[in-house]
Amino acid sequence: MPDFKIAPSILSADFARLGEEVDNVIAAGADVVHFDVMDNHYVPNLTIGPLVCDALRKHGVTADIDVHLMVKPVDRIIPDFAAAGASYITFHPEASEHIDRTLQLIHNEGCKAGLVFNPATPLDYLTYVMDKVDMILLMSVNPGFGGQSFIPATLDKLTEARRLIDESGLDIRLEVDGGVKVDNIREIAEAGADMFVAGSAVFGAASESDPNTYDSVIAAFREELAKATV
């Protein structure tokens, strides 16, 4: 059984109580904090930057922070995120003029690096940089918003990415982002993913009577993952 990681996207968290939300979701058993950075240029939405990442670290968050950059250009902001405590920094190849250089920059700043593939973006960008990525992130929705539906063609793409990783023999995470729910996480795992971003499925589970309880949804994810044939 792979070492599956669950990475709630704080895009769907209550931003007015962000530190508490992250504490609660980690206490509920999540592994990684997925941090969506949008610039109203590369994607049509605007979210959070390095100051918020730094604030979470100062608040006491020790879990890995997985910074998903949906910004263009990318290089200028990378050192700021590294200084703010990012663990992973991933970016979309279309948003960088020099992909190899950007990957090196992320490593030089002491973070793990990854490439993010939009639904229509081919995996060809990996051909000459496979040894320079720690993570491959497949978007299963078009980037910009939480709460969209999983695009089924991602399953075949995950299988292809898994094959590339296995053939390389390298230690590379295969993350999936968008529309991951309790009822599809198992088939997504069976297609080859080992790290699962979930925003609305996790933070949408907060109830009025008990807004801090994410235990049941994280437990339901783990139960489904335990049934996966991989």
Burial class (CB in 10 A: 0-12, 13-18, 19+), 130: middle
**18-27 and 50-59 are packed helices; what angle lies between their axes, rounded to 10 degrees?**
60
Distance CA 94, CA 77 (A): 16
From the list ligand DX5, Zn ion, none, partner contacted by residue 115 (C-beta under 5 to 8 A by kind): none
Taking the complex as a whole, the smallest distance from the CB of residue 175 to Zn ion amounts, in Å, to 9
Q: Tell me whether residue 41 or residue 163 sits nearer to ligand DX5 (CB atom).
A: 41
From the list Zn ion, ligand DX5, none, partner contacted by residue 178 (C-beta under 5 to 8 A by kind): ligand DX5
Binding mask 135-164 for ligand DX5 (x = CB under 6 A): ------x-xx-xxx----------------
Q: Tell me whether residue 93 or residue 199 sits nearer to ligand DX5 (CB atom).
A: 199
Q: Does 179 bind ligand DX5 (CB under 6 A)?
A: yes
Q: Where are the beta strands (DSSP E) in 157-209?
A: 173-177, 195-198
Q: Tell me whether residue 114 or residue 192 sits nearer to Zn ion (CB atom).
A: 114
Q: Does 68 bind Zn ion (CB under 5 A)?
A: yes
Q: Where are the beta strands (DSSP E) in 132-224?
A: 135-139, 173-177, 195-198
Residue 177 is a catalytic residue: yes
| Residue 145 CA from chain centroid, whole number | 13
Of 105, 54, 49, 47, the C-alpha closest to 75 is 105
Residue of 21, 39, 175, 177 that binds Zn ion (CB under 5 A):
177
From the list Zn ion, ligand DX5, none, partner contacted by residue 132 (C-beta under 5 to 8 A by kind): none
Region near ligand DX5 per CB under 6 A, out of 6-14, 23-31, 81-89, 119-127: 6-14
Site size for ligand DX5 (CB under 6 A): 21
Q: Does 21 bind ligand DX5 (CB under 6 A)?
A: no
State how far the alpha carbon of 142 is from the alpha carbons of 28, 38, 42, 178, in Å.
28, 13, 12, 8
Distance CA 110, CA 134 (A): 12
Q: Catalytic amino acids? A: 36, 177
